[in-house]
Structure 1
Amino acid sequence: MTGHPVIVGALRTPIGTSGRSLAEVTAADLGATVLRGLRPMLDEHGLEPHEVVLGNCMGPGGDVARVATLAAGFEVSVPALTVDRQCASGLAAIAVAASSLRADRGAVLAGGVESVSTAPWRMWPPHEGEEPVRYERAPFAPTAELDPDMGVSNDLLAAEHGITRGRQDEYAARSHARAAAAIASGSYDAELVAVGDVLHDDRPRQGLTIERLARLRPAFREGGTVTAGNSCGISDGAAAVAVVDAETHEALGIPGLRVLAAATAGVDPRRPGIGLVPAVERAVIAAGIGFDDLDVIEINEAFAGQVLACCDALGLDPVRVCAEGGALALGHPWGASGAVLVVRLFSQLVLRDGGRYGLAAIAAGGGQGVAMVVERCR
């Protein structure tokens, strides 16, 4: 397995519901917080990153990663790259970092950041004397027919795959129960870096039952099955990892996550939620393992129906997914969410010796998916 880059550190901020605990913190400052949080581990082992790669969707423009790197106090000689693969940006950034370290030596910091609360308003230029028109997101596809709203497309995805409302509510209730249990047991503590006085995730709700979820009305289309309760929350947050090349890792002699494989795939943009399926299939095959070998599976829970459709397509038991709660409970800070998945793998596999193999997977607007398979190593 020599030659595979290794993740040797991982942190995330608390995830704040949009407009709440992290509402005044910019994307660059959230990114700087996790980068700064990794600095003691780097210093302990004599590492200095030669690059920073961060994913982001809705920031102010420019190179958010560069601003975050400078704000974190790294040398001006450390360059930075901002990656945009929409919701998969954070995982894509880690894949970019790992790929670069197959041919280079040293350390790269990679992850993602999103501050929906401070995202600037965007306007289309005025046309023929009309007022500018505000838009909340850029197009994911060239025509409206190929670019439905996420809620509608994932409601239709659930219907097409025969995912009932009951299964969705059951899955959502389980995500919240698992997150609440993880909080109570301190399972998140070692992966969190405080943002000011914010120490905990906003969203997880203890005691959110299937019965309570069943009272909610469809949120996106008449007669649909997707509700506010079985959908993720719109959130702020950041996550980052430290990645080193195989030779550097061998010299360090510390535990980590070996990046065995990463894959990206494209699907019909009208059903973007299924995009992680072909990416997962490719990554698992490239890693040379089977689904039964996976000890920890972290799939971004954008919508319960979407996760269940993907699990059914892959032949995965949904009970195996997000064993300590996922985005339905924690929230979905778009550009950071893929990196949050890898932080969760690091916590479970490395910090708590929870098995050998892990999978992170996420779908993205425009009909794309990214997946990564990792292996705990000493």
Structure 2
Amino acid sequence: MQTTPLSPEDPARIGGFELLGRIGQGGMGQVYLGESPGGEPAAVKVIKPSVVDSTSRLRFAQEIDILKTVWGARIAQLLDADADAEQPWLATEYVEGPDLGKHVMTHGPLPALLVLSLGATIAEGLGYVHKQGLLHRDLKPANILLGPNGPKIIDFGLAVFAASSASLTAANTVVGTPSCMPPEQANGEKPLTSAVDVYALGTVLLFAATGHLPYRASNIHVLFHMVTDPATTPDLTGTPPELVPLLTSMLSHQAQARPTVGEVVQQCRALVEAQGLKLAQARRRLTTYTAAPPEEFLTLLPAPVSQSAVPPAPAPSDPVDAPPGDGTRSAVAQAGESAAGVEPTLFLTSPHQAPPAGPPSQPEPPVLAPQNTQSIQDEQDDPDKKDPGHAQDVPRRACGTGRPAARSLRHSAQAKRTAQQLREAYATRAAF
């Protein structure tokens, strides 16, 4: 996450956590990067003094109770909290990495293979939430953090128990993020079911794959009409063909027509395995792709390639991340496409529709990037020395030189000739 310096009005310490900088803010609170007395980093959420009242305290206490209930590797865990303090606060696990919305807006949509990995990972995480009888209700790109150990779900401020029809909001008031909200939630129906999170996850995956959400409008009333109108279908423009059936079902207008989170996991797994990979491999590729240090990330993005260059075919054991039948570009090249913005928490603002910043507008042919230099050297020294769990699972991306990336040296004709010459030279000098 990106942090900014503390302002003079910010506290230096909250509940024993030393505050180091600002992470972000919303309508009700401010989020800080904090550090526990033992040196543990934390995201510390504090309610603004201007909105502290009995209702906000009750809602905040509910969020704390829910965070005490949910668990799983994909959930940012609660560390400590105090809903009765003068300024109510809670501290959760700090996840070092951008949220999905910022990543896509900065670097473009994810390759289809990585979208499937993201879908399976988040759907499985939501499954643990649903097992506790809870609903997130506000899943969106900004609430998915891309950490070094994989994506994590944050912000359970709007989460509710699935069987509950109670609400802390005023009558006829709908709270949530309109563009990621399913029709039944937008219509104020209660009680809601786990299908609301499936729909929201569908919007997240659509955004990850294309850079836009299913419905876009400059007027919030028009937007709500589009979401709730059965005749207005979601905009799937730019969606890779293999993702269309899955996203179409997840974004179904009728809640009962959507798959369960378990079925989403299975469908994502089947699509990944159809590309010759295991889901665990795809998950490692996702983490490697999104956790690249900022100073290295630009060199990992696709570069323009001459149309006359013909890249070598990939080895069957390590397929390129390209959709089946797409011969114009690799799926990794899709990361260079432009991305539309994501509306802030709770309420819609005008959708961002910024033009592409830098990446070429024309489709690019598929390219292969060289593997990590150290990995190449290791494999030259010992052809059997490979890292089956990681090195071969990293997405092959184009280097930033503007030339087609070469294959691994141990596969090139030049390397074979050199090796043969060395063997012949050694044989003439050998004493046996």
The TM tier, using the shorter chain, reads under 0.3
TM-score scaled by length of structure 2: 0.21
- Tell which structure's C-alpha radius of gyration is larger: 2
Question: Which structure carries more relative contact order (alpha carbon 8 Å, separation 6+)?
Answer: 1
Q: Counting strand residues as a fraction of each chain, which structure ranks higher?
A: 1
